[in-house]
Each structure stands twice: as structure tokens, then as C-alpha cells.
Structure 1
Amino acid sequence: MSDSPPTPPQNVPSGIAEKLTDQSPDVLRDIARYADELAEHREREAQLAEQDEQDEEVEAEADDRPGDVPSKATITIKEINDHRYYYWQWREGEKIKSKYKGLVSDE
């Protein structure tokens, strides 16, 4: 272990790094625990926000799902004679079932 203090990472704002150098080892350990918990909390919030977006996409997709298409169906694109089409697709036992949804627009 070196006798000189560690160099803070470049992405730590200098004001924070300066404040940390004045703290006791106990306070620094408390700050480290808090920083880990805060990072986990923010990551969890980001994951929940991403999941909410995905849920909204699934709900929007389900809004135009015909009654005879199960909720586990996904949308697939098939190319037939140089045209692309959307199909609902799902598995029933050993068989894969499909139902036409519409033409893929070239947007």
C-alpha cells in the first residue's frame, strides 16, 4: 500500500473529491455504502422505466390483436414475392400458427 492518497477517478467532480479528503475513515465507509445503495436504486429505477416502456408497447400491440389470436403471439415479418407482410405467430403444441396482420409499410 502506498503512503500517498489515492487519485480520484476522472469522472468524480473535483468538489466532491475535495470534500472526501477531509472525512474520517468511518464517514468514508458510510459514504461508500450510501453511494452503492444509491447506484443500485437508480439502476433499479432505470430498469423499471424500461419495463414500463416495454409493457406499454405490448399493450399497444395487444389493442389491435384479433380475438382469435392468443396473447402469447408475436408479430413476425414474412417476405413473399418481394413484398413484406406482418403476421401474428404463435405455437400450439407442435405446430406454429400464423394469422395475417397487414402489409409492412416502407416508412
Structure 2
Amino acid sequence: MPESPPTPPEELSSDFVELLEDCSAEELRAIERYADALAEYREREARLAEDDQDDVADRPEELPDDVPTRATLTIKEINGNRYYYWQWREGDKVTSKYRGPVNPDE
């Protein structure tokens, strides 16, 4: 155990350090648990926001805004006519969104 109090990090304001110094050991342990949980939450949110930005950057121009980037373009034949559909999985369900007819010249 240290014999003298620790030196506070420079990143902390003096007002915050004073508030911490007035806390009991039990309160400081509670603050520690909360701070760890809050840091994990904020890091996760930042990763998700970064992933969302990557999805936007990688998003094909022809992909509609309401279709996720993981969707694939498929062709369905209905009554002898062929159509493009965006398809993606949402849990156990496969969702489709109409794109347009298949051009036979492609």
C-alpha cells in the first residue's frame, strides 16, 4: 500500500480532483465501477459510429438509403419477367426491396 496519496492525472480538472478527495473509499470504488462501465459504453458507441461511417463510405451509389450495405442484388423471375431485388437477412427473416426490371441487353 502506498504511504502517500497518489498524484492525480493532469487530464483531470482541479475541481474534479477536489470532489474525489472528499469521497470515501466506498464512494471511490463505486465511481471506479461507474467510470469503467461508462468508458466501455463510450468506446463501443465510438466504434459503432466509426462502423456506420465506414458503411456510408463503402455504400454503392445505386443502393437506396433504406437498404443496408450488407444487402445483395438478386434476380427473381415472375410470370416470365425478370426483376432485380435487394435482399438481406433480418434475424430469421429475409427482406426484399424491388430495384427494377432486368435489362436483357446487360
Query: TM-score range, shorter-chain basis?
Result: 0.5 to 0.7
Structure-1-length-normalised TM-score: 0.54
Identity %: 50
Q: Which runs of 5+ in 1 are unaligned?
A: 66-70, 72-107
CA deviations 1:23-67 (Å, max 9, x no partner) are 1111000000111111111111110110001111121xx2259xx
CA deviations 1:44-103 (Å, max 9, x no partner) are 1110110001111121xx2259xxxxx9xxxxxxxxxxxxxxxxxxxxxxxxxxxxxxxx
Matched, 1:4 2:4: yes
Q: CA RMSD in A?
A: 2.1
Q: 1:63 aligns to what SS in structure 2? A: coil
Q: Which runs of 5+ in 2 are unaligned?
A: 64-68, 70-106
1:24 aligned residue: 24
1:63 aligned residue: 61
- In the TM superposition, structure 1's runs of 4+ consecutive aligned residues that sit over 4 Å from their partners are none
Task: Specify the code of the residue in structure 2 equivalent to 1:51.
Answer: D
Structure-2-length-normalised TM-score: 0.55
